[in-house]
């Protein structure tokens, strides 16, 4: 059997933390549609029999009816492909969800909050969907497979070996336990980074949702025979989020820094976050710097620099600058100073010393 496995599309995500540029959210939502259409076209061209969607297909809070209709119309274009959806924590199968109240194409099966099994002559497909925005017990531990001579597949959303309290709220499953169930393939969702090193597979988010999801994003294409699974990761998202680190220690002015950033070679398929490190010799305002970026692909800037001034040395000067440095040192050396307060004082030192030059 040939299949495609995707997860974590997050249709109609607001992308509120992605960038200060409002248009980027719209561009990413258009890319979601473009990529999903690619999945459907691949299915048509390669006669794919099954499509597994392991949760978070859309954002329950934000998704529009027009988006649901767009998705479903694409499903109708592949009537010979059986589609199995396991709702996740962002698109749970609840009373007012589109999973519950929308008329989906006949080739779509949506799993609810009880483990279900869909049987055919050679394949048993099991599935479980979130019945709420959290899940602490899917019941998968007590599941036993009916027929090990068949190909057995599980479609589910959740995390593996969740250790923190937060992870345990999202259907934490023990890898060892899942391995003992003897599924031929476990189609997981929830983790946005691809992992297909075993038969417990995360395809990752189909489209990158931001700078916490660097690298390629796409789908898993597979073929299963009994006791044999062949998998391939196929990139789909044409845009890629990347970080570039720049040390400012030897840069002496804001103008020089702007010139160096604008000289970077950046692909028009990349979204870039600049990370500034080292010891700064001048005041840095990341919001002001972004205004001078000539390349629109630079959409975010992080300042992890530290002040380069030697306050101890300056404090020994018999000048106004020396008096200022001495007072600032006292504040910085106060016992039990909070880190946030330290940053504020360091910024005040930077501004004050520049004013005294």
Whether 76 has a pLDDT exceeding 70, the answer reads yes
* Residue 9 shares a structural domain with residue 158: yes
What tens digit of pLDDT does each residue of 135-150 get?
A: 998 999 999 999 999 9
The confidence score (pLDDT) of residue 343 equals 82
* Residue 205 shares a structural domain with residue 266: no
Token readout for 76 is: 């109708």
**DSSP secondary structure string, 23-67?**
HHHHHHHHHHHHHHHHHHHHHHHHT--EEEE-S-SB-TTT--HHH
Average pLDDT over residues 303-308: 84
Q: Please report, for residues 27, 321, 327, the alpha-carbon distance to residue 316 in angstroms, rounded to integers and kept in the order given.
A: 55, 10, 12
Whether 20 has a pLDDT exceeding 70, the answer reads no
* Residue 230 shares a structural domain with residue 246: no
Using the 3D structure, point to which of 200, 235, 270 is the last residue of a domain. 235
What tens digit of pLDDT does each residue of 103-116 get?
A: 999 999 999 999 99
Whether 45 has a pLDDT exceeding 90, the answer reads yes
Indicate which CATH number applies to the domain containing 167: 3.60.21.10
The whole-angstrom distance between residue 224's C-alpha and the CA centroid of its chain comes to 28
| Percentage, residues of the chain above pLDDT 90 | 72
The confidence score (pLDDT) of residue 306 equals 82
pLDDT class of 17 with cuts at 50, 70, 90: low
Whether 18 has a pLDDT exceeding 70, the answer reads no
Task: Work out the number of other CB atoms within 10 angstroms of the CB of residue 148.
Answer: 12
Nearest to residue 189, comparing CAs of 218, 221, 157?
Answer: 157
Token readout for 100 is: 């519950």
* Residue 210 shares a structural domain with residue 299: no
Domain interval for residue 136: 2-235
Mean pLDDT for the chain overall:
92
Using the 3D structure, point to which of 206, 235, 264 is the last residue of a domain. 235
Burial label for 106, CB within 10 Å (0-12, 13-18, 19+), is: exposed
Q: Helix, strand or coil for residue 303?
A: strand
């Amino acid at each position: 059997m040939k299949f495609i496995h995707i997860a974590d599309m997050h249709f109609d995500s607001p992308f509120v933390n992605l960038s200060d540029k409002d248009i980027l959210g719209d561009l990413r939502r258009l890319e979601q549609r473009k990529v999903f259409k690619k999945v459907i076209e691949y299915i048509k061209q390669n006669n794919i029999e099954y499509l597994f969607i392991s949760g978070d297909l859309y954002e329950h809070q934000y998704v529009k009816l027009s988006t649901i209709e767009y998705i479903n119309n694409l499903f109708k274009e592949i009537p010979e492909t059986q589609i199995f959806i396991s709702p996740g924590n962002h698109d749970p199968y609840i009373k007012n969800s589109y999973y519950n109240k929308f008329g989906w194409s006949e080739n779509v099966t949506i799993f609810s909050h009880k483990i279900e099994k869909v049987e055919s002559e050679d394949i048993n497909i099991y599935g479980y969907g979130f019945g709420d925005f959290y899940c602490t017990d899917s019941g998968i531990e007590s599941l036993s497979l009916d027929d090990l001579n068949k190909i057995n597949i599980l479609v589910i959303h959740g995390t593996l070996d969740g250790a923190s309290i937060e992870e345990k709220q999202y259907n934490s499953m023990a890898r060892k336990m899942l391995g003992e169930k003897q599924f031929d393939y476990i189609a997981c969702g929830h983790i946005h980074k691809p992992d297909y090193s075993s038969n417990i597979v995360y395809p990752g988010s189909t489209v990158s949702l931001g700078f916490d999801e660097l690298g390629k994003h796409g789908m898993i294409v597979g073929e299963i025979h009994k006791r044999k699974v062949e998998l391939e990761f196929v990139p789909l998202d044409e845009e890629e989020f990347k970080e570039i680190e720049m040390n400012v220690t030897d840069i002496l002015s804001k103008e020089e820094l702007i010139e160096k950033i604008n000289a970077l070679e950046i692909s028009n398929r990349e979204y870039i976050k600049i990370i500034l490190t080292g010891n700064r010799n001048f005041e840095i305002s990341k919001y002001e710097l972004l205004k001078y970026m000539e390349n629109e692909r630079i959409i975010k800037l992080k300042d992890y620099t530290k002040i380069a001034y030697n306050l101890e040395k300056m404090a020994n000067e018999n000048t106004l600058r020396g008096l200022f440095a001495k007072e600032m040192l006292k504040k910085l050396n106060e016992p039990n100073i909070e880190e946030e307060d330290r940053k504020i004082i360091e910024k005040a030192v930077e501004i004050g010393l520049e004013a005294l030059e």
